[in-house]
């Protein structure tokens, strides 16, 4: 899984977890399975009712295919960047800055899907995603969007303990004014905010730390919080 960093207007750097190519293909196949199921159910209902048009058959099947034609645009617009396949695979369309895409962004992705996937059988999309490094197919490049993963990776970062190098030197002794509960709360909120690209929460955490500890620093919010977490671990490990 590729990652890339974005910096907000508040000088907060957010790491985006780009959805892997295999996950995106899996979501696409799930959506195709759902679409196939829709066709099967509709045809069974039509046959059961004994209704089979003899005239304007092309118009009939065009109307039957309209929900499929607008499938991705409909679901991504109404369900915050997710089709059913994306929801199951825990991936989502988002703007590069982590914000929610506008309808025009979803529309651009949907229109260029014809080139990315339909006409080129997905080859253009695959090549663009592999070369881009930010999980963007042609439609994403035009719309300023990408597809991120919302899967949570469990690691030592999800606990109070942090790995520190042997030569680590603390910066802020004031962190000892914080308690274990304070640090655990800060860490949980901080990691969740980074995953979700929520820079407002990161700024609030930064301000709260400054209020409690009286730390005076020019570090960016995300850098200071990292140092505070490491310093707290350093001092508690010395006890």
Summarize the confidence of residues 201-217 as an average pLDDT.
90
Give the pLDDT confidence of 124-137 residue by residue, as tens digits. 889 998 888 788 99
pLDDT at 153: 54
Rounded to an integer, the average pLDDT of 193-208 is 87
CB–CB of 18/129 below 8 Å?
Answer: no
Q: Rank 58-72, 76-90, 190-204 by mean pLDDT and report only the highest.
A: 76-90
- Beta pairing partners, 147: 93
Q: Across the chain, which distance is largest between two alpha carbons, in Å?
A: 85
3-state secondary structure of 188: helix
pLDDT at 142: 94
Partners of 149 in the β-ladder: 91
């Amino acid at each position: 899984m590729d990652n890339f960093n974005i910096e907000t207007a508040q000088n907060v750097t957010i790491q985006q977890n780009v959805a892997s190519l295999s996950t995106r293909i899996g979501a696409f196949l799930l959506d195709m399975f759902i679409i196939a199921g829709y066709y099967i159910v509709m045809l069974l209902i039509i046959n059961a009712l004994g209704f089979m048009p003899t005239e304007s058959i092309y118009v009939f099947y065009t109307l039957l295919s309209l929900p499929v034609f607008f499938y991705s645009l409909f679901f991504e617009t109404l369900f915050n960047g997710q089709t059913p396949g994306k929801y199951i695979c825990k991936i989502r369309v988002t703007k590069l800055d982590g914000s929610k895409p506008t309808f025009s962004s979803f529309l651009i992705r949907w229109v260029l899907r014809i080139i990315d996937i339909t006409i080129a059988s997905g080859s253009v999309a695959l090549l663009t995603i592999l070369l881009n490094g930010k999980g963007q197919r042609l439609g994403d490049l035009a719309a300023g969007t990408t597809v991120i993963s919302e899967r949570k990776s469990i690691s030592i970062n999800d606990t109070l303990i942090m790995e520190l190098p042997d030569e680590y030197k603390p910066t802020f002794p004031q962190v000892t004014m914080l308690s274990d509960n304070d640090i655990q709360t800060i860490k949980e909120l901080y990691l969740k905010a980074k995953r979700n690209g929520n820079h407002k929460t990161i700024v609030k955490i930064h301000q709260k730390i400054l209020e409690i500890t009286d730390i005076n620093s020019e570090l960016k919010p995300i850098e200071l919080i990292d140092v505070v977490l490491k310093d707290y671990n350093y001092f508690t490990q010395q006890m």
